[in-house]
């Protein structure tokens, strides 16, 4: 493993940190799960790529118990926190940039609010294909801010506080990259089912209209199905 790519924490904002980020992401995780059709995970091995402090896998196990879960992340201290919180759950968290080390292990994988940080999506698609079992499913969330007026504000906030800068991917580019690796690609919008929280501490948008545009038009979950024939690994 290339230790040079690892860092201590991802979100370096002095008032929020990775714990604040985790707290903010819990409603997002719950909303994502409302769009995931797989209910019985009792025989499944699950990967959380970009697990940070491990909250998503713990939430997933609470709602849909799985056989085993592995979370990977580049933030060493966040992974240490994740392992300290897992108790006796069948989960392990690993500080690594190489999920493919668990070759052919996972029935299901997730990356939630991570794709926009990955510089080389081609490499990522290859790694995820190698980590998944033949026919395994990978769910990833992505916000297409390209037409959102608050994009410069969002970019500045992320790039000034994060260990990895925001990338400018498009839906077409993401789909094409995974097509090239033999994945079937599906997508849907994640339409809210409840009121949006406009509290000042939750403000990532300069106008309420920009927040609404993101929530109703620009928030997506992608479903990547790995090819059954894995001879190309």
Query: What is the dihedral sign for C-alpha 15, 21, 24, 26?
Result: negative
The answer on pLDDT for 197 being more than 60 is: yes
Q: Which two tokens stand for residue 209?
A: 């209209």
- Kindly report the pTM of this predicted structure: 0.93
Given pLDDT bands bounded at 50, 70 and 90, which one contains residue 16? low
pLDDT band at 182 (very low <50, low <70, confident <90, very high): very high
Separation of alpha carbons 197 and 195, rounded Å = 6
CB-based contact 132:106 (threshold 8 Å): yes
Which residues of 86-204 form beta strands (DSSP E)? 91-95, 106-111, 132-143, 184-189
Is there a contact between 44 and 67 (Cβ–Cβ < 8 Å)? yes
Lookup: tokens for 93: 């968290």
Give per-residue pLDDT as tens, 156-175: 999 998 888 999 999 999 99
Give the tens place of pLDDT for each residue, 53-111. Answer: 999 999 999 999 999 999 999 999 999 999 999 999 999 999 999 999 999 999 999 99
DSSP symbol at 11? B
Q: Which of 26-30, 34-38, 196-200: highest mean pLDDT?
A: 34-38
* Banded model confidence at residue 49, pLDDT cuts 50, 70, 90: very high
| Structural element, H or E, at residue 155 | helix 151-161
């Amino acid at each position: 493993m290339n230790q040079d790519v690892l860092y201590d924490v991802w979100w370096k904002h002095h008032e929020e940190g990775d714990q604040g980020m985790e707290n903010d992401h819990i409603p997002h995780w719950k909303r994502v799960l409302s769009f995931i059709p797989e209910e019985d995970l009792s025989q499944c091995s699950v990967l959380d790529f970009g697990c940070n402090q491990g909250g998503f896998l713990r939430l997933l196990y609470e709602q849909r118990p799985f056989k085993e879960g592995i979370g990977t992340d580049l933030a060493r201290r966040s992974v240490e926190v994740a392992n300290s919180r897992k108790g006796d759950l069948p989960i392990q968290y690993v500080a690594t940039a190489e999920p493919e080390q668990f070759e052919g292990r996972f029935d299901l994988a997730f990356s939630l609010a991570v794709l926009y940080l990955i510089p080389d999506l081609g490499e990522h698609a290859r790694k995820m294909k190698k980590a998944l079992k033949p026919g395994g499913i990978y769910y990833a969330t992505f916000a297409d801010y390209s037409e959102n007026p608050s994009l410069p504000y969002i970019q500045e906030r992320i790039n000034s506080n994060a260990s990895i800068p925001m990338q400018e991917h498009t839906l077409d580019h993401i789909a094409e990259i995974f097509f090239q690796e033999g994945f079937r690609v599906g997508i849907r919008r994640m339409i809210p089912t409840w009121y949006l929280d406009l509290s000042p501490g939750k403000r990532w948008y300069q106008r309420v209209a920009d927040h609404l545009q993101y929530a109703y038009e620009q928030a997506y979950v992608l479903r990547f199905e790995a090819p059954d024939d894995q001879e190309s690994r």
